[in-house]
Amino acid sequence: MEASVPLIFAATIGFTHAFEIDHLLAVSSIVTRRKSIWKSVKDGIYWGLGHTSTILLIGILMIVLRVAVAEQTFAYLEASVGLMLIVLGLHRLWKVWKQKNEPLHDHDHPHEMHGHKLAYGVGLVHGLAGSGSLVLLVMSQLKGQFDGLLYLLIFGMGSIGGMLLASGVFSLPFSKKLHHLSWLKLGLTLVSSLFCIGLGLKVILENLQV
Residue 54 near residue 122, CB atoms below 8 Å: no
| pLDDT confidence of residue 134 | 87
Distance CA 45, CA 11 (A): 15
Degrees (nearest 5) of the Cα angle 22, 127, 210?
A: 70
Q: Regarding predicted confidence, which is higher, 3 or 204?
A: 204
Instruction: Transcribe 62-88 into DSSP letters.
Output: IIIS-----HHHHHHHHHHHHHHHHHH
Q: Residue 49, exposed/middle/buried by CB under 10 A (0-12, 13-18, 19+)?
A: buried
Distance CA 199, CA 210 (A): 19
DSSP-derived 3-state class of residue 47: helix
Distance CA 132, CA 93 (A): 32
Indicate the DSSP class of residue 60: I
pLDDT higher than threshold 70 for residue 112:
no
190 lies in which domain range?
2-101+108-208
pTM for the full predicted model: 0.81
**Backbone torsion region of residue 24, taken as left when φ is above 0, otherwise alpha when ψ lies between -120 and 50, otherwise beta:** alpha
Indicate the number of domains in the chain.
1
Across 86-110, average pLDDT = 74
| pLDDT confidence of residue 114 | 45
pLDDT tens, residue by residue, 135-193? 888 888 787 888 889 999 999 999 999 999 988 887 766 655 555 667 767 787 888 89
Residue 171 near residue 28, CB atoms below 8 Å: no
pLDDT higher than threshold 80 for residue 209:
no
Distance CA 79, CA 139 (A): 24
Helix axes 71-100 and 117-126, enclosed angle (nearest 10): 150
Spatial CA neighbour of 163 closest among 201, 135, 126, 202: 126
